[in-house]
Every structure is written in structure tokens, then in C-alpha cells.
């Protein structure tokens, strides 16, 4: 597929999505979101892509929604923008492959939301994160959804109420990102993380990711009940049998691969 607002490339088992509106600071226009939704749907059924990296072209990762699309339109148009955005954020969590945000420059509003929605995130030193909508009269209610789940209520409300920007190191302390690296190591460190994850069984990763997001908001007892059911069924999968046998036999496992498709 060809894209007007995205780039996509594969490096071995790692698929790399680049937001490609550098002249607009990679703002999430409706058209870009529609392309991203279609691309994620295609990746979901891919047997070759085991891990996904999302990054931005140009000077920043993503400055949020395209503000020019948020004025002088009908409610139906605004609904289309935010329905598509929510679909994209949810699709990232539904994707069987782990998704890593590779963040540089700035990640604000819906750009910060995108970072929070990804499973993991690596950022370069000097990156700034924020939800500054309150400063222009538009509270970042949709970015708040993954943000509070990543960093907790008090820190999320601080960012949402004040609109202040936080540094990469602060974002790491908050739990919004996993790691801060030097500018010249961002791509290398993100790829190293992706490749480390890609060594594991894609079936096992997909089972684990789905179970994680299912249980994370359940009460403890319900979460354990769900996790117990998943891990027992996981034991019956061919990749689990292979992995356990390989461990006991002190050899490298050979994953079956296609069995994970569609999970």
C-alpha cells in the first residue's frame, strides 16, 4: 500500500511506521489517522512483522491533532476525527504485536496520547511531553485516557490542569516512557529493544499482550481468574510446549510462527 502521510518499512521482523507530515509537526489530521488505522489493520494480520515501532519524521514526534481541522466544521466532522483517533489508539492495544514509540522533539496533546497508548516508549534527551489543550480552551480529555493509565491520577491531572511540558527524564520517572537515551542513540536503542522482543514467540507475545490489557483494569480476584485461565491455555500451545522443552534440553527454541495469526 502507498501512503500520503505515513512511511512504512520493515527491518527483519520489525515494522517501522513513520508519521510523515514534518511540515505540520506530524499533526494527526483525519487523513493521517485514517491511513494509520488502515496500516495497523494490515499489520495485525501480518506473519512477518513481530514488533512495531512508531516514530515521526522531521523535528518532532507529533504535536497532536491538526488544529486547523478543529475550527469551523460541523459536529459530524469532529466526531469523525475523534472516532478515528480513538479507533487508532485502541487498535494499538488490540494489535497482537508489541508497539514501541520512538520519541523525539515534542509529543503534545494527541501526540502524548499516542506515546501513552503504545506498549513501550523510548525517548531522546531533550524531548518534551505535554497535554496543553487547557491553554487554548480545549481540555485534553481523550489524551487523558491512556495518560492516567500510564502515570496515575495526580501526575496526569497536574499535566492536564496546568498544560505544562515535562522533560524526558520526568516522563521516565512518571512511567510515561521506559528509557531516555542520547540523541544519536535513539534509533539504535529503540531497534535493539524491538529486536530483543522479536526473539520471543509471536504467539506468546500476542497472548500475553491481550491478557495484560484485559486484566489491568479488573479487580484483583477477577484479574487472577482471567490470568489463570490464559496461562493454562497458553500451556497447551505448540510454542509453549516447544519453549519449555527447549529450556529443559538446553537448546534454542524454534517457534512455529503462523499459529499466532489473528489472535
Give the residue-averaged pLDDT of 6-28: 98
Q: All 3 cell numbers of residue 186?
A: 535513539
Question: Topology of domain 6-198, per CATH?
Answer: 2-enoyl-CoA Hydratase; Chain A, domain 1 (3.90.226)
Q: What is the DSSP secondary structure assignment for residue 68, as one 8-state letter?
A: G
Reported as type and span, the H/E element at residue 120 is strand 120-124
Q: What's the CA gap between 259 and 55, in Å, rounded?
A: 29
Q: What's the CA gap between 50 and 194, in Å, rounded?
A: 9
Phi, psi at 67, each rounded to 5°: -60, -30
Per-domain residue ranges of the chain: 6-198, 202-260
Query: What is this structure's pTM?
Result: 0.94
* Model confidence at 259: pLDDT above 60: no
Q: What's the CA gap between 232 and 229, in Å, rounded?
A: 5
Fold match, 6-198 / 202-260: no
Which pLDDT band, with edges at 50, 70 and 90, does 262 fall under? very low
Pairing mode, strands 14-19 and 6-11: antiparallel
Q: Out of 3.90.1150.10, 3.90.1200.10, 1.10.12.10, 1.10.10.10, which CATH number does the structure's domain 202-260 have?
A: 1.10.12.10
Segment 160-196, tens digit of pLDDT? 999 999 999 999 999 999 999 999 999 999 999 999 9
Q: Give CA separation, 246 vs 236, 243, 254, in Å.
A: 15, 5, 8
* Model confidence at 2: pLDDT above 60: yes
Amino acid at each position: 500500500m502507498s501512503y500520503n502521510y505515513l512511511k512504512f518499512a520493515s527491518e527483519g521482523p520489525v515494522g517501522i511506521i513513520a508519521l510523515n507530515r514534518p511540515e505540520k509537526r506530524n499533526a494527526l489530521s483525519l487523513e493521517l489517522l485514517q491511513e494509520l488505522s488502515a496500516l495497523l489493520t494490515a499489520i495485525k494480520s501480518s506473519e512477518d512483522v513481530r514488533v512495531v515501532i512508531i516514530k515521526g519524521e522531521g523535528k518532532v514526534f507529533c504535536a497532536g491533532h491538526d488544529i486547523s481541522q478543529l475550527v469551523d466544521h460541523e459536529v459530524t466532522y469532529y466526531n469523525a476525527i475523534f472516532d478515528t483517533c480513538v479507533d487508532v489508539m485502541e487498535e494499538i492495544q488490540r494489535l497482537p504485536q508489541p508497539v514501541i514509540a520512538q520519541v523525539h522533539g515534542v509529543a503534545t496533546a494527541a501526540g502524548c496520547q499516542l506515546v501513552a497508548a503504545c506498549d513501550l516508549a523510548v525517548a531522546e534527551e531533550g524531548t518534551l511531553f505535554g497535554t496543553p489543550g487547557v491553554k487554548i480552551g480545549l481540555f485534553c480529555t481523550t489524551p487523558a485516557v491512556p495518560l492516567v493509565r500510564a502515570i496515575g491520577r495526580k501526575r496526569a491531572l497536574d499535566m492536564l490542569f496546568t498544560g505544562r511540558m515535562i522533560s524526558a527524564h520526568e516522563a521516565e520517572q512518571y512511567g510515561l516512557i521506559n528509557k531516555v537515551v542520547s540523541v544519536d542513540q535513539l534509533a539504535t536503542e529503540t531497534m535493539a529493544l524491538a529486536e530483543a522482543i522479536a526473539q520471543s514467540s509471536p504467539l506468546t507475545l500476542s497472548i500475553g499482550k491481550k491478557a495484560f490489557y484485559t486484566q489491568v483494569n479488573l479487580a484483583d480476584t477477577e484479574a487472577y481468574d482471567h490470568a489463570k485461565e490464559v496461562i493454562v491455555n497458553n500451556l497447551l500451545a505448540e510454542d509453549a510446549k516447544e519453549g519449555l522443552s527447549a529450556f529443559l534440553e538446553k537448546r534454542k527454541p524454534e517457534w512455529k510462527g503462523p499459529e499466532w495469526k489473528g489472535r
